[in-house]
Amino acid sequence: MNKLVRLLFLMLLLSSASVQSFSQLRKASEFVQDRIVTENTFFTLKDSNTAAFGWASEWTDFSANNYPDKSAMFLWHFKDGSIAYSRQGEYMGDAGKITEYHLAQQASNLEDVKHNKIQPLSLTNYPVKVELHIGEAGEQTGYKPELLVDTACLDAQSIEAGKTYYFSACPAAK
């Protein structure tokens, strides 16, 4: 009887370990490059001077595996020269395990370098460029972009309240 109990316990332990190991397996990324998903990266100035921001990116296996403890972040460049930040998840290493390499988020505010909520969007001050970076985004350190991944631009001379604006590829440098 004692051997039977040991055998059952060992089988239970092994089956539990295999389920946990299986859940840690990473699906392969279907994406061939790290990039901003421009059709899901947008902003809207609402009539009440509130805003909506949305950002999305796609990641390869390479980035998720080689920068597991780094963060993906967007730098929003505004017309007046100011910069705001938004982060995608906690760490790049989570991309394949949790979100299948497509990261997307929305918020009514962006953040300053120290993670304080800000909303710099107005009819005369809107984002003209957004950059995707890999870097540090800790609460103690603030945002520290280290590696530029992709850039998208806004091709608008002005904006209107209530209209959603999407980014597109930046014009080629002359």
pLDDT of residue 16: 45
Assess if residue 137 is contained within a domain: yes
Structural domain total, the chain: 1
**CA gap 105, 81 in Å, rounded:** 24
C-alpha 3/C-alpha 70 separation (Å) is 48
Answer yes or no: is 8 within a domain.
no
Which token pair is 10? Answer: 């060992």
d(CA 76, CA 129): 6
Ranges 8-22, 48-62, 101-115: which has the least confidence = 8-22
pLDDT at 49: 79
Token digits of residue 109: 């505010």
**Inside any domain, residue 12:** no
- Give per-residue pLDDT as tens, 63-92: 888 998 999 999 999 999 999 999 987 788
What pLDDT score does 107 carry? 95
Nearest to 51 by CA among 99, 107, 103, 93: 107
pLDDT value of residue 12: 47
Residue type, 25: L
Assign residue 53 the CATH number of its domain: 2.60.40
Of residues 93 and 169, more confidence is placed in 169
- pLDDT band at 17, cuts 50/70/90? very low
Residue 105 lies in a domain: yes
Question: Quick check: is 174 in a domain?
Answer: no
**Domain residue limits at 89:** 33-168
- Least confident range of 16-20, 47-51, 113-117, 123-127: 16-20
In degrees, rounded to 5, the angle at the alpha carbon of residue 56 between the alpha carbons of residues 160 and 140 is 100
What number of H helices and E strands is found in the chain? 2, 12
In a domain, 13, yes or no: no
Residue 74 lies in a domain: yes
The overall pTM is greater than 0.75 = yes
In a domain, 27, yes or no: no
Is residue 109's pLDDT more than 50?
A: yes
